[in-house]
Structure 1
């Protein structure tokens, strides 16, 4: 299953009562490995996602110090948006370069010992380097930018494509046309 397909499948459960999609792209440009989220946010903006749909870019990162402030307004929106949280992760050597999609939110900073609130209805994480326990912060600092950029391009494009497909499907179903599939 492709990343776009996995994301589209996650959106499919939300079609009965479609909600606006918001991408919470978590991280900072001050650490190469942790720049995944802001790079995904940049990609989404370049592809045409409106600013109100993307929280966290290189220009305005979403990180531990501003997470609550920048996302508090989401709870008061009606209908509540479907929040896709994007963040970097550390893991085993065999996991480096893998992208994971799972239902439910994520706890940013958990891998480096931060206690932040969970965010999101869907989590997209990419393993950018190997976990080294007490040295995780240094590992993030020394992560190769090329790999982080490649992962961000892949995630950003897949998120954009899946959100567009879900919006088209919701419009079609609201008009009563149903889902049309080729034979």
Structure 2
């Protein structure tokens, strides 16, 4: 995904992302939330989604699709989208390339994102809400840029997204019991 139309999304830091996710959770109190973490473990820059998914599972968040173990990538996403529950609220999470001043920030929007847009992936838009982490600058060679993106930056951003979502779900009371007991120690 490329940050081509920043007016459609709010560029936020972790605090702004927390406010965004808190609003989603409060607006959809009793509804099923699905965190669709898009990307692959085969590209550093595109691994943000699977890192987030793995961290969310570790934190006890349910409704997570797309992890390092089972990525939701360009090959599996179209098939997976056909199996998503119609009434679930989908929050799509993906990496994107953007403007130099946006690197390290997040694009949060009510509305879908288009996965793999930066590499002309041709995938359908997905999500009632979307969170995109701007992991690197846009370039003429997006594949190369994604491959050479800092793993440290991606992991740091994934931790921020996972912490924000886990905090919101903890307030909602929606973490698995075994994880709550582990955090209570």
Residue pairs, 1:14-33, within 5 angstroms:
14-15=28-29, 18-33=30-45
Q: Which residue of 2 aligns with 1:6?
A: 20
Q: Distance in 2 between matches of 1:57 and 1:87?
A: 12
Q: Distance in 2 between matches of 1:165 and 1:101?
A: 20
Residue pairs, 1:122-137, within 5 angstroms:
122-133=129-140, 135-137=141-143
Moved over 6 A (4+): none
Shift of the alpha carbon at 1:167?
5.1
Q: Distance in 1 between matches of 2:128 and 2:173?
A: 17
Which of 143, 146, 169 matches 2:149? 143
Aligned residues: 160
Q: Distance in 1 between matches of 2:39 and 2:164?
A: 19
Shift of the alpha carbon at 1:115?
1.0
Q: Distance in 2 between matches of 1:164 and 1:82?
A: 18
Residue pairs, 1:19-168, within 5 angstroms:
19-50=31-62, 53-76=63-86, 80-133=87-140, 135-166=141-172
Q: Distance in 1 between matches of 2:91 and 2:173?
A: 15
Q: Which has the larger radius of gyration?
A: 1
Give the secondary structure class of the aligned counterpart of 1:11.
helix
Q: Distance in 2 between matches of 1:131 and 1:165?
A: 36
Give the secondary structure class of the aligned counterpart of 2:127.
coil
Give 5+ residue unaligned stretches, structure 2.
1-14, 175-185
Summarize deviations over 1:109-138 as a string: whole Å, max 9, x none: 0122111011111100110001003x0110
Shift of the alpha carbon at 1:163?
2.8
Q: Distance in 2 between matches of 1:163 and 1:102?
A: 19
**TM-score (norm. length: structure 1):** 0.82
Q: RMSD of the TM alignment (CA)?
A: 1.5
Q: Distance in 1 between matches of 2:16 and 2:172?
A: 16
